[in-house]
Amino acid sequence: MPWRARAGERANPYHVWLSEIMLQQTTVAAVIPYFLKFIRRWPTLEALASAPMDDINRMWAGLGYYRRARGLHDCAQVLVRDYKATFPQEEVSLLALPGIGPYTAAAIAAIAFGQKANVVDGNVERVMARLYAVRTPLPKAKKELKTLAAALVPAQRCGDYAQALMDLGATVCTPRSPQCGLCPWRKSCKARRDGIAETLPAREKKAAKPVRYGIVFVLSDKEGRVLLTKRPDKGLLAGMMGLPGPEWQETPLDWPAIRRHAPEKAEWKLLEGSIHHTFTHFELQLRVAYATIRRPLEDRGVLWQDCANEALPSVMLKALRFARNGV
């Protein structure tokens, strides 16, 4: 992992923080190329703090959970302005920074500064649940698992311990088919002793996600430009570029009513079918309307082939591909 310090070296707090923000709800494999792009473009905290938000959104596009990008920029600016471009070392001070929650604060404190901090992510919860055979289902078990993990945090080399424990969960104590024979804690593991390792941690049955409905308007001119608009600075996909359309709603769309939200008068065609996209808290069914106009969009439009270089969320890229295939 490119953000990890080599043996004998101290971790770079900027790299630790950046990677931890990117890794929230995202896999290591997906994060590595984004992390490398970011540190090439903005090698220091000062460089990131002074970068335009639109540039950060453009670099972040495709990584998902776009609110993290805004928190990243806000945090960098606070650190430069109030902390002379350095990170505070204590968890309580890190928690006061934008976009940093309890897990991230503990991870930075332990990995970057060697503080005695209890770093608990999903991997660590799984290890604790199996080590102590905790049968209480998640999320009810979170507090108990965090308490158990806290009792094991050593006084020395806390960063190495935190990373080793997370790696143990990611590579050995895996969700399915854990490699118990390779585990350094196999003799102490109660779940292995009881033959229930693969059943833990137990989880409460998830309720079905609610469904929302939306529509976007794909307007193209004769020169192959597509109209893009910037989304509001607050709310889902805040500050990102996107396709025009009304707010998503909880009931299916009424095309005659929705058509009034079209960005321009044109011969709009509602394409057959819809796009399905999963967000953290809901499922989206997105319809796409398409039209062409003779008048050039000029600076309001982006060429089809250049849309991938804009700060477009993946759901908007899906809509563009859907439009191209549907007309």
Catalytic positions are 20
Distance CA 107, CA 115 (A): 9
Backbone angles phi, psi at 34, to 5 degrees: -65, -45
Distance CA 123, CA 126 (A): 5
- 3-state SS, one letter per residue, for 285-325: EEEEEEEEECCCCHHHEEEHHHHHHCCCCHHHHHHHHHHHH
Half-sphere exposure of 271 (CA within 13 A, CB side): 23
Cα separation values, 110 from 38, 51, 161, 234, Å: 23, 28, 9, 32
Q: Report the candidate in 148, 98, 94, 97 with the shortest Cα–Cα distance to residue 126.
A: 148
Q: Please name the residue ranges forming H helices in 83-157.
A: 91-95, 102-113, 122-131, 142-150
Q: Tell me the pairing of strands 241-242 and 211-221.
A: unpaired
Distance CA 62, CA 73 (A): 17
The three-point CA angle 257-259-264 to 5° equals 145
Contact indicator for 233, 303 with CB cutoff of 8 Å: no
Q: How far is CA 279 from the centre of its chain?
A: 11
Cα separation values, 52 from 40, 62, 116, Å: 16, 18, 36
What would you report as the CA-atom Rg of the chain, rounded to the nearest whole angstrom?
23
Element (H, E) at 4: none
